[in-house]
Structure formats: C-alpha cells, structure tokens
Structure 1
Amino acid sequence: MWEDAFHALVGCRAARKVWKLIEFYKDIKLLAHQDMLSVLQELAGKRKKDDLGLIIPVCWAIWYARNKVVNEGKQEDPQITTARAAATVKSYLRIKCPNVQGVPSQHNNNQQVWNPPPTGWYKVNMDAAIQMENSKAGLGVVIRDTSGKILAAAIQITGFRGDVACMEAEAVLFGIQVACQAKCDPIIIESDSLEVVELSLQRKSSMAEICWAVKEIQAWPKNQSKASIQFVPRNYNVVAHSLAKVALDFESPVVWLEDFPIQIMMLLSQFV
C-alpha cells in the first residue's frame, strides 16, 4: 500500500522523531491525517514567518533521509536530519539575502572568499591548530567540489614538535591521504602556510625537520595526472582551521565521507 505525503513527511515514526526536535512540533502533532497543503495553511495562521521558512527544508531533509533508508538501507540520526534542514536555510539566506540582519554579508563572512575549483577538480583545504600547554596539535581537512559541496571532512590529533610549519606540513600530508581515501582526483591543495607551500614548490630550501614532510609532499604529485598546491590567506581557510581545533578533543583520527555527525554538521553548516 502506497503511503501518502502526510504520512511520509509528518505522520510516520521516523518523521515524528525529526519534528520533535523542531520548536513548533506541538502544532504539527495536532494536524494528523491531513494533506500537506492543509497542514501548511493551518501553520501559516499559527506560526511566525521564520518558522514557516523551516518547514519545507525539514520536509525535504526527511524525504532525503527516507530515501537513504529505502535505497541504501542507511538509517540517519534525526538530529542530523534536523541539522541538514537548518543548514539549507542558512545557505539560502546567505545567497539570496546577504544583507538580512543576522546573516553575514559576503564581505563580513570570512569563509565567503573561498573560491571553488575548476570543473572536474576538487579543493583540499587543511590547517593545524596548536595547543602549546599540552604539546598537542590538531589537524583539520575539508574537501569540496566545484559547486562548493563538502564531500569529506577529517580530523587528527598529533604531538606538537615545537615547529608550527612542521605541523602545517603534516596537515598537508593528512589532506593528501584523505583525498586518496575519498577518491578525489585531481585535487588542488590549499594551505595558509606560505613556508610549506614555497618549500613544496622548491621556491626556497630548508635544513629544518620540516624537510622530511616536504619531500613526501613533493613526491605525491608524481603519481597524479594533475595536481597542484597553492598558498591562501587564513580567511580562505576557516573551515579547515575550525576542524583542526575540533581535532584537539579527539583521541584518534576520523574521516567522514558526507555522512557527518551532528557536531561536525553544525560546524560545517556555518560555512555552507
């Protein structure tokens, strides 16, 4: 028996778990056994405009999660479904309403200066965050395609060996590993460490400990049909830096390929 739209998007148990995380669930649960148009009309008279703007993204996120179960057999956490809906709203507001209060404009939002790669390429941004008092360093990696879609995110904690550039070089190597795991090729590596980039491009030389990592970076493109590394200012690299700070609270490396936990999805949604 085919389920109707109301049951799929509102009435079924999985959908209700998502709606329970929304502030206006108390209104939704009173609208049982109606068609979706009637539900929207009822809510229009009860809720604020901002609430109504979240309803369609929530329905879309529920439908997306439902299809993952049907087509892939993967059950999604309701919190992730809710976060996906909120991220969709934020993305829309940044694009369509850049001057709306509470939504950073393109000139004020540091991450907006990130530029997508050419068609068919992937950009791999990485960074290191240092915690001097504990002699720890967090490494963060994010991979995006030409549309800006985040395909992979990764974190790793390591020991801080007293040289920031050395940690930045480790972050680049970690980024290359994640790109290989995500099967992203060809890639453009972006690092906000000018020293690491110039050493990797052989524009300068060094006898410091960083050399071992740089040699590995230099060896990697030889096995690729197309690859490059380039310097970007820190404000191009906000997502990777945020992930690097998160890594400081983890004990082991983690790589996420699109299916992000709620903590990471909420962080990434700030930069969609």
Structure 2
Amino acid sequence: MVKKFPLMLGKKCNDRDSVAWMPPKPGWLKLNFNGASKGNPGASGIGCVVRDHNGLFKGKMALSIALDTNNIAEFKALLLGLLEFSSRGIKHVVVEGDLAIAINAVKTIRLPNWRLQALLERILKELSRFDDFSCKHVYREANLEADALSKIATDGTNLSWWADEFKVTYPSD
C-alpha cells in the first residue's frame, strides 16, 4: 500500500508530489535516501528504502557510519543505495531525497562545498551504470521511512532487509 502524506506542516507548496510518496513507473524502482547526524558533525547514520511501482517494499537499510556532518551522511546514503541497485543489475531507478543540495548537485554536477566533491564523483559514476534514472527533491513527509532509518542508525543500529525478488536479472543487450 502506498502511503501518502499530503500535509506540509506550515509550508506552502503547490506540488503534491513533493510531499507525498508517489510510485515510480512500472518496471522502475524508487530509492528514497536520507542521512542524519547528531551534533553535526557527530554520530551519523544513513537510511535507504526501495519500493516498486505498487509501493511494495523491496528493501531497506539503516547503517551507522563514522562521525560526519549531515550533508556527508546524505551523500553517503545516496551512494550506498545506488551501489545496492547496481550490484543487483537494476536498470531503471528513481532517486528521491529531502536534501536539495544532494539532488541539485547530481542534476548540475557541481557543489557549493568542495568536501562533498569526491562523493559526488562516485555518485555520478554509479548513476552512469543505469540505463535511465531520475532524481527528485522531496520534502521530509515523502521521505519518512528513510528519515526514520537514518535516525535509528545514529544510535549505532545497523539493519538490512532485501526481498529475494529484488535480485533482478535482465537479458543481455
């Protein structure tokens, strides 16, 4: 079942897609990612959630990472989610996150912060492995599961669950 969160808590927005989780096209998978840091820099964690066009969970991950800033944690969450996709042979992916800096960096291939450049280069390399991808900024309300997983991971919790059918194989081109 697809969860929708149409309220934006004090913000005005005309784009309902930005505040509600919307399914990807059939044949595509959606990666929602988030990074969190207690203290900024501080104990950090990442969260990733993968769902199909029916809104069915195909995987989720919470991973505690080194002491970092929230921006670095966000970029690492995106990178690790993409690595999981490419290791499973996924060809079409929609990426959504609630940090505009990360999404805009992927779209424009430039960053306001040089410390994130190496991570951006690795993200772009992973994105080049997909036949097609889409990156979109969403508000936290559309990213709640990934947000919750990243916060759980800041306490040192690591968890990972992937559906067997998420191991997709495609015929060779």
Distance 1:112 1:229 in 2: 15
Distance 1:106 1:192 in 2: 14
1:254 correspondence with 2:155: no
The residue number in structure 2 matching 1:149 is: 56
With over 3 angstroms needed to count, the CA separation of the structure-2 counterparts of 1:151 and 1:134, relative to structure 1, is: same
Max Rg structure: 1
Q: Is the 8 A contact 1:201 1:218 kept in 2?
A: no
Written as runs of structure 1 = structure 2, the 5 A alignment for 1:229-268 is 229-250=135-156, 253-258=158-163
Written as runs of structure 1 = structure 2, the 5 A alignment for 1:126-145 is 126-132=33-39, 135-145=42-52
Written as runs of structure 1 = structure 2, the 5 A alignment for 1:31-180 is 107=6, 113-132=20-39, 135-161=42-68, 163-180=69-86
Q: Which runs of 5+ in 2 are unaligned?
A: 10-17, 165-173
TM-score, length of structure 2 as denominator length: 0.77
Q: Name the Cα RMSD after superposition.
A: 2.9
The residue number in structure 2 matching 1:193 is: 99
Distance 1:192 1:226 in 2: 21
Q: Report which stretch shifted further, 213-222 or 173-182.
A: 173-182
With over 3 angstroms needed to count, the CA separation of the structure-2 counterparts of 1:121 and 1:246, relative to structure 1, is: same
Q: CA deviation at 1:179?
A: 2.1
With over 3 angstroms needed to count, the CA separation of the structure-2 counterparts of 1:200 and 1:106, relative to structure 1, is: closer
Q: Which runs of 5+ in 1 are unaligned?
A: 1-90, 96-104, 260-272
Answer 1 or 2: which has greater strand percent: 2
Answer 1 or 2: which has greater helix percent: 1
Post-superposition Cα deviations, 1:90-136, rounded to whole Å, max 9, x if no partner, equal: x6xx99xxxxxxxxx96459998100001110000010121128921
Secondary structure at 2:128's aligned position in 1? Answer: helix
Distance 1:132 1:140 in 2: 18
Distance 1:188 1:113 in 2: 15
TM-score, length of structure 1 as denominator length: 0.51
With over 3 angstroms needed to count, the CA separation of the structure-2 counterparts of 1:255 and 1:181, relative to structure 1, is: farther
Q: Is the 8 A contact 2:35 2:71 kept in 1?
A: no
Question: Does 1 or 2 have the higher relative contact order (CA < 8 Å, sep 6+)?
Answer: 2
Number of residues paired by the alignment? 156
With over 3 angstroms needed to count, the CA separation of the structure-2 counterparts of 1:186 and 1:107, relative to structure 1, is: closer
1:215 correspondence with 2:121: yes
